[in-house]
Structure 1
Amino acid sequence: MSLSRSQLAAAVAAVTVTLMTAVLMVVMPAPAGAAPTWAPADSARIHPGVQMYTQGAQCTANFVFTDAADNVYVGYAAHCAGTGEATDTNGCDVDSLPLGTPVTFNEGGSLLSEGTKVGSGTLAYSSWDTMGKVGETDANTCAYNDLALVRVSPADVAKVNPSIPFWGGPTGIDTDGTAAGDRVWTYGNSSLRAGISLLSPHTGISLGDAAADGGWSHPLYTLTPGVPGDSGSAFLSADGKAVGVLSTLGLAPLPASNNIGDLGKELAYAQQHSGIAGLRLVNGTEAFDPIL
Structure 2
Amino acid sequence: MNRWLVFVFLAFLSACGGSSNSSSSNAANESDTSGEMTSSPGGGNASVPGRPSSFGVPVASQIRPGVEISADGSGCTGNFLFSPNAQTVYIGVAAHCFSEDTNNGIDPCETNNLPIGFNQVVIENATQPGEIVYSSWRAMQESGETPGSDACVYNDFALVKIHPDDLANIHPAAFAFGGPVSLRTDLAAVGDDVFAYGRSSLHFGLRTLEAKSGSITGVSGEDWAYQIRTDNPGVPGDSGGPIFGPNGEALAALSVLSAGVGGLNVIDVSNGAVNLDRALRYAIDGGFINANTKVLLWPDFYPAGDF
Bin the TM-score by the shorter chain.
0.7 to 0.9
Per mean C-alpha deviation after superposition, the further-off stretch among 267-276 and 161-170 is 267-276
Partner of 2:48: none
Distance 1:162 1:181, change over 3 A: same
For residues 133-155 of structure 1, give each alpha carbon's deviation from its aligned partner in whole angstroms, at most 9, with x where no partner exists: 11112711111110100000000
Partner of 1:129: 138
Instruction: Give distance in 2, aligned partners of 1:247 and 1:172.
Output: 21
For residues 97-132 of structure 1, give each alpha carbon's deviation from its aligned partner in whole angstroms, at most 9, with x where no partner exists: 00122201126xxxxxxxxx6542111100001111
Q: Is the 8 A contact 1:177 1:218 kept in 2?
A: no
Question: Which residue identity does 1:83 align to in structure 2?
Answer: E
Q: Is the 8 A contact 1:58 1:191 kept in 2?
A: no
* Count of matched residue pairs: 250
Structure with higher RCO (Cα < 8 A, 6+ apart) = 2
Shift of 1:95: 2.0
Verify: 1:163 aligned to 2:173, yes or no: yes
For residues 156-208 of structure 1, give each alpha carbon's deviation from its aligned partner in whole angstroms, at most 9, with x where no partner exists: 11111011111111111112323222110011110222333332111011103
Shift of 1:289: 1.9
Question: Which residue identity does 1:209 align to in structure 2?
Answer: V
Q: Highest Rg: 1 or 2?
A: 1
Q: Is the 8 A contact 1:202 1:223 kept in 2?
A: yes
Partner of 2:22: none
Verify: 1:46 aligned to 2:63, yes or no: yes
Q: Is the 8 A contact 2:94 2:240 kept in 1?
A: yes
Structure 1 segments, 4+ long, off by >6 Å, are none
Partner of 1:266: 279
For residues 70-96 of structure 1, give each alpha carbon's deviation from its aligned partner in whole angstroms, at most 9, with x where no partner exists: 300000000000120235474212121
- Structure 2 spans left out of the alignment, 5+ residues: 1-34, 44-54, 263-267
Verify: 1:105 aligned to 2:123, yes or no: yes
CA RMSD for the aligned pairs? 2.2
TM-score normalized with structure 1 length: 0.79
- Structure 1 spans left out of the alignment, 5+ residues: 1-30, 108-116
Partner of 1:280: 294
Verify: 1:83 aligned to 2:100, yes or no: yes
Partner of 1:35: 40
Shift of 1:59: 0.1
For residues 10-56 of structure 1, give each alpha carbon's deviation from its aligned partner in whole angstroms, at most 9, with x where no partner exists: xxxxxxxxxxxxxxxxxxxxx97653234641244211000011112
- Percent same amino acid among aligned pairs? 34
Q: Is the 8 A contact 1:106 1:119 kept in 2?
A: no
Higher helix share: 1
Q: Tell me the secondary structure at the aligned position of residue 258 of structure 1.
A: strand
Q: Tell me the secondary structure at the aligned position of residue 165 of structure 2.
A: helix
